[in-house]
Structure formats: C-alpha cells, structure tokens
A and B are shown apart, each in its own frame.
Chain A
Amino acid sequence: MCRDCGCSLGPTASRVPFAAAAPAPKGHVESIEVITAILDENDRVAKHNREHFDAQGVFALNLMSSPGSGKTSLLEATIKALQGELNVAVIEGDLATENDAARIRACGVPAVQITTGNACHLDAQMVHDALHDLPLAGLDILFVENVGNLVCPASFDLGVHRNITLLSVPEGDDKPAKYPVMFRGADLALITKVDLLAHIEEFSVERARKSLRDVGFQGRVIELSKRGGEGLDAWLDWLRAEVAARRAVAA
C-alpha cells in the first residue's frame, strides 16, 4: 500500500522499465490527433449523476477535507438542526469501516457507505453505484462525504452541484497555499473548530482568508464551531438558499 495516501500503488512497484523494450515497428506508424480530457469517462458519469439529482430536485454536495477536520460531526449537527424541515441523506466515503455511515444512521437519516479499499478518492462511478442503494425520491439534500484527503478528490467531478472544502483550525492557516487545487475548486470554504482559536494562537483567520484568495478561491467563507454552535445558522441558511435555488430550477 502506498505510504503517502493509502492507494494501491506500492512504493517499490512504481518504477518499471518501459519503452526501451519496445520492438521496432513492423507495420507503418501513424499519428492520431485526439485532444480529449483524460477523465472524460468520469465526467460523462458525473453528468449522468447530475441528471439523476436534477430529475428528483435533490441538491447534492461534496464535502472534502483532511481526515479529522470535522466533516462527519458537521453532518451530525446539520441533520439534527434540519430535522422535520428538510429530508437529508448521506453517502460516506472511506477506505474502510462502516463507522461514519453508522454515525449518520444513528441520527435517523439514510446513509450508504462506500468503502474504497485502497483508493484515495471517490469518483463519479462509485457515487453512481451508491445511488442504486439510495432512493432519491422525496430527498432535499444529498451530502457526499469524500475520503479525507486534500489532494486526490479534487481531480474527480462527482456530478454534485457544489463542492465544499473544510479547513479546521488545528491544521494551520496555510493549508490552502499547500493544497491549492483542492481549495481553488471549492464553492464554499468552512473554517471549522474555531472554538480552538483561543488555544491555537498560530492560526489567523485573516491569513487563512488571504491564503484562500491567493489560490483563486472566490466563494464564501463561513467560520464554524460545532461545540459552540458558532456559524451553524449561516451554514444552514446557505444550505436552505441552495435547496430553494435547486427547486426553482426543477420547477
């Protein structure tokens, strides 16, 4: 297993000689111009997922962050706050265990766990397969909680309407500068665990916002603390507005 992120590529298996062993051509050689996105098959499935969501009027979003920055905790708090108001379901992505799906189900909403084995990200096909176990009819919001990883998930469109990236205070305010692709692609950034600001002097919200701006992030930033409840209303209002916007499109 890869020591960097747990994917199936072994660190010793990565250098295999090639090209040098290629036999000389026997037939005639021809160059074919292609120019297509390498991930066009993923993009095709993502578009298909989006059509599923739109047909059912479901607002779908993808939560991405490092492991341990508070994605599942945020979902628990969100589900509790929206109980009786909006119908929510969750697709959970992890390398292993049903732990997160079990936490979500304990909140009384449907959850499907995708265990990726050694893969370091979710792709559109995995989400599509999970949708077979998750009836979308009657749902208002579908959260996809991606594998905790600030690198790989950024490259794969899942077909959701919005991408959210979380940055927790203990991680440091320069995370966007270190992982620019992930933060640049987000529509909304959540700075989580702000109740820890009192204990972690190194973290400056101002520097985090500047770091986000430098990588080209143009969305809104909400500061959240699950424990203190700070920012939760702003986050819920953002969700409500997005759900209303989806319904307006579907109508």
Chain B
Amino acid sequence: MHELSVCQALIDQVERVARDNGARRVMSIVVSVGPLSGIEAQLLEHAYPLAAAGTMAENAELVVETVPVKVRCRTCHAETEAAPNRLVCATCHDWQVDVTGGEEMLLLRVEIERADEPVA
C-alpha cells in the first residue's frame, strides 16, 4: 500500500500545475497507470481522498486510465498484449521480448477552474 505515497506525490505535482496556471481549484485529474508500474488503480483511488484533503484538489475527480502490458517480440516482431507475470510473445510464444507498454505511472491532464477575469 505505497499508493498513499504515490498519491501525495501526485497531489504535489497537481498543486504545482494549478498554481502555475492561476487556478482557483482543481476540477479533475487524469492519470495513466500500467500493471508493471507496481501500483493498483483501485488502491490509488482509495488513497486519493486522504492525500487530497485540504489541498486545491480536494473534491476533484480522479480519473485513472489503465493501460495493458504490451511486448514486442525480438523474433517475429509482433506487438501483442501479455500478462504481467508472463512476458512472452502471444504470436510465436518466444520470451525474448521488449516491453512497450504497461510501465506507465503518469500524470496526463489537470482540469482547473480559473477565477473569472475582472470585467474592465
């Protein structure tokens, strides 16, 4: 359950983005998480309200986009999906593969609410 630590790092980043853009508050946060990142989307969602409490992101919606594990075969060059504990080519079953997806732990997008411009 290191998702709380990950969430705190996420909120720090989101607040920085929000402040830099003159936000009044954060409306939503979109992250991308792969199975090989070592964090669980559901646990991240559970930890989020605790990490967000008292910050500009309190009450913001957290959207977690999960991405599959993908491998590219060094033998037949096919790119296929794989299980995290069985990184083999789905086409020719060779285990000499390079991981091309599933390691993501990224902040993609922050939706903010800006204070309205004062009317001149």
Contact = CB atoms under 8 A, between A and B. Distances in A.
A32 B110 contact: yes
Interface in A6-21: 7-9, 13-19, 21
Nearest to A9: B4
15 contacts: A19-B61, A22-B60, A26-B113, A29-B113, A30-B21, A31-B110, A31-B111, A34-B108, A35-B107, A38-B107, A39-B6, A154-B38, A155-B38, A180-B85, A216-B87
A31 B27 CA distance: 9
Contacts of A232: none
A27 B109 CA distance: 19
Contacts of B1: 2, 4-5, 7, 9, 120, 152
Contacts of A41: 9, 12-13
Interface residues of A, number: 55
Interface string A142-168: 000000000110111000000000000
Interface of A: 2, 4-5, 7-9, 13-19, 21-23, 25-42, 119-121, 123, 151-152, 154-156, 176-178, 180-182, 184, 211, 213-216
Interface of B: 1-6, 9-10, 12-13, 17, 21, 24, 27, 31, 35-39, 46-50, 52-53, 58-62, 84-88, 95, 97, 99, 105-116
Nearest to A6: B1
Contacts of A27: 24, 113-116
Given A16-B50, A214-B86, A36 B27 contact: no
B37 A155 contact: yes
A34 B38 contact: no
B31 A38 contact: yes
Contacts of A13: 50
Contacts of A123: 5
A14 B47 contact: yes
B84 A215 contact: yes
Nearest to A15: B46
A211 B85 CA distance: 8
B86 to A, nearest CB: 5
Given A14-B47, A19-B59, A32-B17, A37 B116 contact: no
A38 B46 contact: no
A27 B108 CA distance: 23
Given A16-B49, A181-B37, A216 B60 contact: no
A155 B33 CA distance: 12
B59 A181 contact: no
B111 A42 contact: no
